[in-house]
Structure 1
Amino acid sequence: MNRKSPLPLWSQLLEDLRRRISSGEFTERFPTDKEMIEHYQVSRQTVREAVRHLEQDGLVVRHRGRGTILSHSRFEQRLGSIYSLFRELERCGYQQNSKVLFQGSVIDEALACQFQLTDDNFFYLERLRYAGALEVAHDKVHIPMSYAKPLLNVAFEHTFLYDELELRCHISPTSGEERFSPIVLPPSESELLGCKSPSAALSIRRVTYFGAAQLEVRDTIVRGDRYWFVSSFDSAKTSNSTQLSQTFYS
């Protein structure tokens, strides 16, 4: 703590705690007020003010008699527009990072037919997505190579696909749709996502467009115990941000 800094001590403490949360340091438990007072050599009031701001940001939950715990077991994403799951996490103070499982060129005739393309060569990116040290999602993306060739040599461990697509390929999604299906993870997927088997998850198929042309097909499996998807509605409006459809299976 820099006591000569113009920043108040609680603000310095807040930034350091955010950094440590983002790095995944507190995966086991969050330190007690007494531990932070001793570690940072600050007053109880300074600790309480910093933790109060963490609670306002949704990073921790304070329980009377039980202390403070991290609230990062679930993250929230509102629906109704093109979004990045992990940009929202970074906005909340978590470090987005990915383990790239595959990045390169693949041939997929069935997908080429779906895209109505004569060229069946696709850029394929498969990643395991993290928030800090927490596994959140398994992501697989196909984009026609005619659009995405400049992405072949991009390091995707700490960057966003749509940012790189716009920067290097000069295109970005203008519209799209998603379909959600609840699933039970197979053992191999449970192991990859670091959860017990069997576990519940959401399977998401995203299709995006660049104008009238189909741009991307993305299949994502999101851990059901670490993510919320929220849809808003208003009875006064004729159309809402999210349309729901039901399909019944025998």
Structure 2
Amino acid sequence: MSEGPSGPPAVRLDRSSSTPLWRQLAHDLRSRLDRGEFGRGLPGEFELGLQYSVSRHTVREALRQLRVDGVISTGRGRRPRLAAPDPVIAQPTGVAYSLFSSVEARGLVQTSVVRVLTVRADGVIAPRLGLEESTPLVHLERLRLADDRPLALDRVWLPASVGEPLLDVDFRRTSLYEELARTGIAITGGQETVRAVIPSRAEHDALGLQPPSAVFSVQRTGTSSGVPIEWRHTLIRADRFALTSTLNPGPGATEPPSGGIPVSTLTPSFG
């Protein structure tokens, strides 16, 4: 670093890189924020332009990305500041749940961007539902948002015999389970596996994550009266979602002493 024209250190960006300057700037500012260099607030646009020798347009694009990522908050007439932490959506394990309902119960507004809604065969997914490989399936893919910020990338497959009545549904502001219930079908059980994965670059971008970020990978088979009718794969941001589990005494175990903690809250650093 060297001294900039107004005193603060000038920061060099790689102008030969294929990565846009605004994205490099956003990445560097995020790193500096993580190191606590700015405290709770960032310098103004003009000062940042001097430090990085870039235009105010470049600075604004970088700040816009940090705002979309939930790193900072901005407002007319005031400098960008670190954003308040997002409320975490806590979901108990061992119950059939709707992500839509879990988000709304936390006081957030859940909306979706529908990326795919179609009928097609899938020789990998159909057997997971106990069907022949050539069986038509309804495939729904949504980017799930909580208060207009990416939360989850959700992919669902249903037998066409179950899902075809839903092809005309506007899923931007409703729950799949609610819409299934309108047709007389309720998800009453199933199996779910949760693990940590590193999503693809396209999935990073869709979820508004800085690579490499790990996420929750949730694979679920949903059943209605014991019959598999849903196979789902959801990638959920770890910084906005947590699993909670109530622990019961095992064989030979005793209740925790007074003051003990009977509820375990799992908040992994993956998504």
TM normalised by structure 1 equals 0.65
Q: Tell me if 1:231 matches 2:245.
A: yes
Give the deviation of 1:236 after TM superposition. 6.5
Q: Do the aligned partners of 1:30 and 1:70 also contact (CA within 8 Å) in 2? A: no
Once residues 110 and 229 of structure 1 are traced to their aligned partners in structure 2, the CA distance between those partners, rounded to angstroms, is: 28
Aligned to 1:140: 155
Q: Tell me if 1:122 matches 2:113.
A: no
Aligned to 1:44: none
Aligned to 1:152: 167
Aligned to 1:165: 180
Say which of 217, 221, 226 aligns to 1:212: 226
Q: Secondary structure at the match of 1:70?
A: coil
Once residues 107 and 154 of structure 2 are traced to their aligned partners in structure 1, the CA distance between those partners, rounded to angstroms, is: 22
Say which of 83, 86, 109 aligns to 1:72: 86
Give the deviation of 1:224 after TM superposition. 1.5
Once residues 72 and 200 of structure 1 are traced to their aligned partners in structure 2, the CA distance between those partners, rounded to angstroms, is: 18
Q: Do the aligned partners of 1:102 and 1:125 also contact (CA within 8 Å) in 2? A: yes
> Which moved further from structure 2: 201-210 or 83-92?
83-92
Q: Secondary structure at the match of 2:171?
A: coil
Aligned to 2:191: 177
Corresponding letter in the other structure for 1:157: R
Q: Tell me if 1:131 matches 2:143.
A: no
CA offsets 1:28-87 (integer angstroms, 9 cap, x no match)? 4499xxx9xxxxxxxxxxxxxxxxxxxxxxxxxxxxxxxx96342532111121111221
Say which of 192, 206, 213 aligns to 1:192: 206
Say which of 208, 211, 222 aligns to 2:236: 222
Aligned to 1:15: none
Aligned to 2:43: none
Once residues 125 and 142 of structure 2 are traced to their aligned partners in structure 1, the CA distance between those partners, rounded to angstroms, is: 20
Give the deviation of 1:234 after TM superposition. 1.8
Once residues 179 and 171 of structure 1 are traced to their aligned partners in structure 2, the CA distance between those partners, rounded to angstroms, is: 23
Say which of 74, 85, 95 aligns to 1:81: 95
RMSD across aligned positions (CA): 3.0
**Quick one: structure 1 residues 171 and 237, their matched pair in 2 at CA, closer, same or farther if it must change by over 3 Å?**
farther
Give the deviation of 1:190 after TM superposition. 0.6
Q: Do the aligned partners of 2:113 and 2:143 also contact (CA within 8 Å) in 1? A: yes
Identity of counterpart residues, as a percentage? 30
Give the deviation of 1:114 after TM superposition. 3.0
Structure 1 gaps of 5+ residues are 1-23, 36-67, 243-250
TM normalised by structure 2 equals 0.60
Give the structure with higher Rg (CA). Answer: 2
Counting matched residue pairs gives 182
Q: Do the aligned partners of 1:202 and 1:221 also contact (CA within 8 Å) in 2? A: yes
Q: Secondary structure at the match of 1:109?
A: coil
Q: Tell me if 1:110 matches 2:110.
A: no
**Quick one: structure 1 residues 234 and 193, their matched pair in 2 at CA, closer, same or farther if it must change by over 3 Å?**
same
Q: Which has the higher contact order (CA 8 A, sep 6+)?
A: 1
Give the deviation of 1:211 after TM superposition. 1.5
Once residues 70 and 80 of structure 1 are traced to their aligned partners in structure 2, the CA distance between those partners, rounded to angstroms, is: 31
